Structure 1
Amino acid sequence: MDMQGKENTSAHFVLIPLMAQGHMIPMVDTGLLLAARGVVTSVITTPLNAARFKITVEEAQASGLPLRLVQLPFPCREAGLPDGCENLDTLPSKELIINFFRAISLIQSEVEEYLSNLEFPATCIVSDMGLPWTSNTAKKLGIPRLIFHVSCCFSLLCNVLVRRSEVYDSVNSDDEPFAVPGIPHRIEVTRAQLPSNFAMKSSMKGLRDEILESEAAAQGIIVNSFDVLERGYAELYQKTMGKKVWTVGPAFYGGPRIPRNVSRGRKASVDEEKCSSWLDGKEPCSVIYVSFGSLARFSFEQLVEIGLGLESANHPFIWVVSERYKATQTEEWLGGGFEERTKDRSLIIRGWAPQVFILSHPSTGGFLTHCGWNSSLEGISAGIPMVTWPLFADHFFNEKLVLEVAQVGVGVGVKSASVWQDETPGVSVTKEEVRRAVENLMDRGEEGAARRRRVRELGEKAKIALEAGGSSYANLNNLIEEMANRSG
């Protein structure tokens, strides 16, 4: 295997991500890691999604990395979707989610045609867990298939153990806590905090069952995490699943041959120079960065509470506000006095933010996050403590890792999931709770210092994991070798 990036024609990995930012970004990052090892890597996606990663891929190709973007048309109309709805963050409402997954399944025949006519046959398929039809594709074409998870081993294991034990059926209400069985730490959750796949409507239950069946049929699992952070949960997850698990993260760190830019995942709404200049003018570790990912949809009232909480906390802050709030009362409120009152210590980014860049800046000292795994991993890897505000999916399990296992955060106090609030009026977290959590996180006392020390140590170990001799570096080597040997 050529570690210098020269094309290694003994392996061709075909990556098929789910068309959602939180799923595509880590898979493209992992594709860059593979390509940097000389592995020919093809990423199958659609035109809108390809455009978001165009700069990243072009820069990788200019550096000599064998990374390809394969674009297939997305059948929006055939699945009852408006034109241009090629990513989960483009859906106008959650009612169209089932149509979105139907559209994805309709590209199966085109994927199979592409795979069948490759000049350099695929060594393996790396599929997002949300694309169960790729299991049949792999079986039909005789290609090994691996699952790519966009969560951590800890959360994946908790999910599996809770589902298999059905322990949630033993409690009397959605708010009654129960312990996750069979793990070293005592972790308590409630039914209200479980991922939505535990209580899916009939329209989505079939998809959930297909996902579980396809996961059972996979030859292995790839996870964007690193072993030190997992505290033994990677090995326990592997034992529980009965198949090989490779932790290869944090994939966004890449390596010396992988170019990085602030438009990772999408064109940033603020240029690096402006962002850097603003941060350069702030004291070290003084800024709180606030972002809730690409899918969060808050009510107007809730967004106002967030803003007022940040204002009263009296720390400099960068707040990422989704572009979906343009031309709404939220934008009117922001521009109607809030920005003027906080102009000396706030930077509001409307749209996509260069998150890794911001988190890595010396002035950033805290991260208010929804606990999506990408954000959690990026915060920990940057050595930044977090205020946790989980919303849905694996977020509450991720919060448990941050607060109770790694002990590098402060909870804002959310008690139940809110799947795409769809701007329903109401407030789940008050401005006072926001202020209190931010002030607690940024505290300069003994507790805050200990928290910052723990997360900085994890940040250093994250870098080491991807260096030669590190656990993720070795796992990626083993993954490539095992797949190449299977096809040889």
Structure 2
Amino acid sequence: MVTSGSYGTNSENPITCIVADGVFCFAVDIAKQIGVPLLYFDTISPCGLWTYLCLPKLIEAGEFPFTGDDLDEIVVIAPGNEGFLRRRDLPGFYRTKDFSDPNIQSVLKENRNLPLAQGLIFNTFEELDASILSEMSKICPKIYAVGPLHTHFGMGKNSGKIKIEWGSRSFDSRQSRGNENSPRAMDKDTAKFILLS
């Protein structure tokens, strides 16, 4: 898309922002290369992602790799989850003793790239994940809780409408669409409004 010139800066519809899944670490380089902002839309829950983001802290504190087989042991180094997160609550690959495990390496790479995004979008709402979203904002200050997404669909005239609000300004997802069934590229002013507000 970008290399073909179809959506380059001189095209009629240039790319003005990249929204990518958080596991697509290569999106950082692409956004940087074409000079547009990057937003990661993580489909995993904020709590689930936070367990990934705590891995470097666990390594630094000597809590990972785990010693012993007690999966009910409390994980001490997991801000926002103090006192109740157990080893068994972490993803299964945390039980490996091998730092070269592909899953561990993937998580460490995601840890390096996620803070380079201009924003993180989650399918959650503030009341559900407030403590974790607060911790995440220390890594990436622009956090957008737009969920639960399923409530935005199948509701007659409001179908497909998502509204992001911050301060006294807001962004309505319909501003980035041609019509109900025809998604299009977000214009530059709308992208700036979201990212710079």
Q: TM-score, normalised by structure 2?
A: 0.65
For the pair shown, the structure with the greater C-alpha radius of gyration is 1
- Select the structure that is richer in helix: 1
Instruction: Find the aligned partners of 1:138 and 1:207 in 2 and give their Cα distance.
Output: 20
Give the CA deviation at 1:118.
4.5
Contact 1:112–1:137 (Cα < 8 Å) also in 2: no
| 2:150 equivalent among 252, 257, 271 | 252
Query: Unaligned stretches of 5+ in structure 1?
Result: 1-109, 261-465
Report the CA distance shift for 1:179/1:204 in structure 2 as closer, same or farther (over 3 A).
closer
| 1:130 equivalent among 20, 23, 44 | 23
| 2:116 equivalent among 200, 213, 217 | 217
Q: Deviations over 1:211-268 (max 9, x none)?
A: 33321211111111001111433222212x14211111112221643548xxxxxxxx
Contact 2:119–2:140 (Cα < 8 Å) also in 1: no
1:175 aligns with 2:71: yes
Which structure has the higher relative contact order (CA within 8 Å, separation 6+)?
2
Give the CA deviation at 1:137.
0.9
Report the CA distance shift for 1:223/1:258 in structure 2 as closer, same or farther (over 3 A).
same
| Alignment of structure 1 residues 277-296 onto 2, 5 Å | none
1:477 aligns with 2:170: yes
Instruction: Find the aligned partners of 1:162 and 1:209 in 2 and give their Cα distance.
Output: 7
1:151 is aligned to 44
> Which SS does the other structure have where 1:148 is aligned?
strand
Contact 1:163–1:198 (Cα < 8 Å) also in 2: no
Count of aligned positions: 168
Query: Unaligned stretches of 5+ in structure 2?
Result: 174-188
One-letter amino acid of the counterpart of residue 192, structure 2: A
Instruction: Find the aligned partners of 1:172 and 1:140 in 2 and give their Cα distance.
Output: 46
Give the CA deviation at 1:474.
1.8
> Which SS does the other structure have where 1:215 is aligned?
helix
One-letter amino acid of the counterpart of residue 127, structure 1: A
Contact 1:145–1:220 (Cα < 8 Å) also in 2: yes
Instruction: Find the aligned partners of 2:109 and 2:55 in 1 and give their Cα distance.
Output: 19
Q: Deviations over 1:151-174 (max 9, x none)?
A: 232333343235423324454226
Contact 1:146–1:222 (Cα < 8 Å) also in 2: yes
Instruction: Find the aligned partners of 1:479 and 1:214 in 2 and give their Cα distance.
Output: 28
| Alignment of structure 1 residues 396-411 onto 2, 5 Å | none
Contact 2:47–2:132 (Cα < 8 Å) also in 1: yes
| Alignment of structure 1 residues 245-324 onto 2, 5 Å | 245-254=143-152, 256-257=156-157, 259=159
Instruction: Find the aligned partners of 1:135 and 1:224 in 2 and give their Cα distance.
Output: 21
| 1:236 equivalent among 132, 135, 146 | 135
Instruction: Find the aligned partners of 2:84 and 2:156 in 1 and give their Cα distance.
Output: 38
> Which SS does the other structure have where 1:135 is aligned?
helix
> Which SS does the other structure have where 1:157 is aligned?
helix
Instruction: Find the aligned partners of 1:482 and 1:244 in 2 and give their Cα distance.
Output: 16
Instruction: Find the aligned partners of 1:204 and 1:171 in 2 and give their Cα distance.
Output: 19
User: What is the Cα-based RMSD across aligned positions, in Å?
Assistant: 3.6
| Alignment of structure 1 residues 320-359 onto 2, 5 Å | none
Report the CA distance shift for 1:173/1:192 in structure 2 as closer, same or farther (over 3 A).
farther
Report the CA distance shift for 1:115/1:198 in structure 2 as closer, same or farther (over 3 A).
farther
One-letter amino acid of the counterpart of residue 120, structure 2: I
One-letter amino acid of the counterpart of residue 249, structure 1: G
Give the CA deviation at 1:125.
0.5
Q: Deviations over 1:315-341 (max 9, x none)?
A: xxxxxxxxxxxxxxxxxxxxxxxxxxx
Q: TM-score, normalised by structure 1?
A: 0.30
Instruction: Find the aligned partners of 1:177 and 1:186 in 2 and give their Cα distance.
Output: 10
Instruction: Find the aligned partners of 2:191 and 2:106 in 1 and give their Cα distance.
Output: 28
